[in-house]
Structure 1
C-alpha cells in the first residue's frame, strides 16, 4: 500500500498575499469554498501525477482548518475518506460575543492581576474599534501592527 503525508497551507495573508491586489473584486477568491475547490483540484492533479487516481485522502485540521477538513469531507466525499476536525467551528456566526467571553475568562485565569487584564484588553479593543471607524487611520494601523509584511 502506498502512503504519503502532505501538509497543505491555506494562506491569504502576509507574504503569501499579492501586494496591492486586495481589491474588492479579487477578494472573492479568498473564501472557504474557493479553498475547498483548490484543495480538490490539488488532490486530483497530485493523485494523477503519482498514479493514485481514485485514492481518497484522510484530511485533518484544527480550528479554521478543522472546519475546512469537515466541509471538504462533506463537499467531496469521493475525495476524502474521513475528516478529523479538532475544535472546528462549523457553524459560522456573524455576531458571537460568547467567544470574547471565553477569551476574557481565559485571560483572567492566566493574569497575575486578575481584575486588571480583562479590563485592559477591553479598553484596547474598544480603542482599536474606534480607530477602525475612520479610514484615515488604516495606514497607521497597518504600519503599527506590521500587517503589510
Structure 2
C-alpha cells in the first residue's frame, strides 16, 4: 500500500469515484458469470459504504446496474441539507458528556489549544507530527 501511495499513476485509482466504478464492474461480472442478467441488484452498505452506495443510485451514475440502495447508518441526510451540518458533532458531544463530564471538558478545551497551535506559522506541521498525521 505504501508503495502504491508513492506512485502518482496508481494513486489516481485510490478515489471513492474509482471504488464505485470498480464496484460497478464487479457487479456486472458477477451477473454475467452467474447468468443472472435479469436479476435485480440492491447495493447495501453501512456507514462510509452506505454513503457511497447511496449516490451509486441517486447520482444516476449506474442506474443500469442496480435497482436500489440501502444505506445503513450512513450520513445521507447531510447531502441535501435535511439535517443540520453540526448534527453529528452535537450527538457525539452529547455522548461524551453523558459518559464523563471531565472527558467532555478536556476534549472541549483541547480545540482552542489545537486552534492556537495551528494558527502559528509552523503550527500545522507541529500538529501533524504530534498526531502522527499522513502527509
Shift of 1:46: 2.2
- Match for residue 15 of structure 2? 31
The structure with higher relative contact order (CA 8 Å, sep 6+) is 1
Shift of 1:44: 1.0
Q: Structure 2 unaligned runs (5+)?
A: none
Indicate the structure with greater helix content: 2
Q: How many residues align?
A: 125
1:73 is the counterpart of 2:63: no
SS of aligned partner of 2:5: coil
Cα distance between partner residues in 2 of 1:123 and 1:54: 57
Shift of 1:122: 2.4
Cα distance between partner residues in 2 of 1:128 and 1:19: 32
- Give the RMSD, CA atoms, in angstroms: 3.5
- Match for residue 135 of structure 1? 125
Rate the CA distance shift 1:27–1:101 in 2: closer, same or farther, 3 A.
farther
Taking structure 1 as the reference length, what is the TM-score of the superposition?
Answer: 0.61
Q: Structure 1 unaligned runs (5+)?
A: 1-16
Cα distance between partner residues in 2 of 1:26 and 1:130: 37
Shift of 1:28: 4.3
Correspondence for 2:43 among 42, 59, 69: 59
Cα distance between partner residues in 2 of 1:23 and 1:29: 10
- Match for residue 4 of structure 1? none
Post-superposition CA distance 1:71-96 (Å, at most 9, x none): 12233222212211123223458xx4
